[in-house]
């Protein structure tokens, strides 16, 4: 059988349709593969981003641990020179200078920035240097009543915008920020 004016047989038309269908199937397969490949690439990029973020977080955590370790070493060095808090106010001034030197001027910057009273800065200093002492023990060493020390701690925490339970951690973070970022 032939088409009018064309000398093409049905078999040739079927062969051409099969060939066109084959090309369409190949194109669809390639487009599907490309889409799947694109989805896989997006998933891989997302995993890489997540891993990068986790690595950055772990790096930051490790750096913070190193900073805390360094701070602990500095404070331990201070404790070797001042085994207990100074009861004599004049001794405190020398102790304050020594601590300020070992903390690269943090106390002076902290006092200026926060505008805490001298006795409040003294309490913060004792809290940092002697974290193993209870508030009662600190009160005995600096000749204050237990109630006064608790009030100091609450007032200082309030001025700094933290809870009194978080004051020690706040002071540590503040020193680290000062030592390593120079706020």
Residues 147 and 111 grouped into a single domain: yes
Q: Is residue 40 part of a domain?
A: yes
Task: Identify whether residues 25 and 93 lie together within a single domain.
Answer: no
Domain that holds residue 10: 1-61
Residue 66 lies in a domain: no
pLDDT for the residue numbered 131: 87
Tokens 């003294």, residue located: 122
Q: Mind listing the pLDDT tens digit for each residue in 38-85? A: 888 888 889 988 999 999 999 988 988 898 898 889 888 888 887 777
Residues 94 and 166 grouped into a single domain: yes
- So what's the pLDDT on residue 1? 47
Q: Please say whether the beta carbons of 107 and 100 come within 8 A.
A: yes
Predicted pLDDT at 169? 92
pLDDT at position 140: 80
Indicate whether 12 and 46 sit together in one domain.
yes
pLDDT at 6: 63
Within a domain: 157: yes
Give yes or no: residues 168 and 86 share one domain. yes
CA distance 75 to 130: 9
117 alpha-carbon distance from chain centroid: 30
Q: Same domain for 177 and 88?
A: yes
- Number of structural domains found in the chain: 2
User: Is 75 among the domain residues?
Assistant: no
Say if residue 89 is in the same domain as residue 169. yes
Q: What would the two tokens of residue 135 be? A: 């508030």
Residue-level pLDDT at 64: 86
Q: Residue 135 in contact with residue 89, Cβ under 8 Å?
A: no
Residue 68 lies in a domain: no
Residues 86 and 171 in one domain: yes
Asked if the structure places residue 67 within a domain, the reply is: no
Q: Could you give the angle at the alpha carbon of 149 between the alpha carbons of 143 and 154, nearest 5°?
A: 160
The dihedrals phi and psi of 116, each to the nearest 5 degrees, come to -75, 155
Q: What is the pLDDT of residue 82?
A: 79
The reply to whether 89 and 55 lie within a common domain is: no
Report yes or no on 173 lying in a domain.
yes
Q: How far apart are CA 111 and CA 106, in angstroms?
A: 8
- Name the stretches of the chain with pLDDT < 50: 1-2
């Amino acid at each position: 059988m032939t088409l009018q004016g064309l000398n093409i047989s049905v078999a040739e038309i079927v062969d051409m349709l099969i060939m066109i269908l084959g090309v369409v199937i190949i194109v669809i397969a390639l487009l599907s593969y490309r889409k799947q490949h694109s989805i896989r690439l997006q998933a891989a990029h997302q995993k890489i981003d997540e891993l990068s973020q986790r690595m950055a977080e772990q790096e930051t955590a490790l750096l913070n641990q190193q900073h805390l370790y360094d701070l602990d070493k500095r404070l331990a060095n201070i404790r070797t020179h001042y085994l207990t808090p100074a009861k004599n106010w004049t001794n405190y001034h020398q102790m304050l200078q020594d601590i300020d030197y070992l903390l690269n001027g943090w106390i002076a910057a902290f006092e200026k920035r926060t505008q805490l009273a001298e006795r409040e800065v003294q309490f913060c200093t004792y809290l940092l240097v002697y974290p193993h002492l209870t508030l009662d023990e600190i009160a005995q060493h600096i000749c204050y009543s237990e109630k006064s020390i608790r009030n100091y701690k609450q007032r200082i925490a309030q001025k700094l915008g933290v809870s009194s339970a978080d004051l020690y951690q706040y002071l540590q973070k503040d020193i680290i920020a000062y030592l390593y970022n120079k706020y």
